[in-house]
Amino acid sequence: MYEIKCVENEIELSKVLELCYGILGQGTANNELYCSQAWRNRMGEYKKLMLYAWEGDQVVSLVLGRAENRNSLICGCVACHPDFRKQGITRDLMHQFEKNAKEMGFKYITLAADDAATGFYEKCGYKQIMEVHGQKVFQKLL
């Protein structure tokens, strides 16, 4: 059984980002908005938007968000270990992420997804609002 946690310290962040970059690729790690230093800077004020699922001794899924402004939240990284997919873990993380965002006063969440992930986000209640650089952009009002 997994436990949902907020990233609280450097060790947890390192484990979360290891899974994140392992699945989403090194391009994510090199992006100034999603590099480890950027997430480290957000850990204090926005740790409720940096969630992961922990099972046994490993991170199995994650959802990381960043504020765009006081109303808008960007869901920047969502990833799940292949052995733990299709079990509802990431869906539960998204639900907690949305709940935390609403409690923090955000009005909506925006995210970009490739074709493989669009069905998941649609099932979570996100609506496509545009397409940019081959990625579909989704949004959900809170």
pLDDT tens column, 26-76: 999 999 999 999 999 999 999 999 999 999 999 999 999 999 999 999 999
How far is it, in rounded angstroms, from Cα 79 to Cα 20? 6
Assigned CATH topology for domain 3-141 = Aminopeptidase (3.40.630)
**Residues contacting residue 124 through CB under 8 Å, at least 6 positions apart:** 91, 94, 95, 140
What pTM was estimated for this model as a whole? Answer: 0.95
Domain assignments of the chain as residue spans, ordered by start: 3-141
133: left (phi over 0), alpha (psi -120 to 50) or beta: left
Q: 15 pLDDT exceeds 90?
A: yes
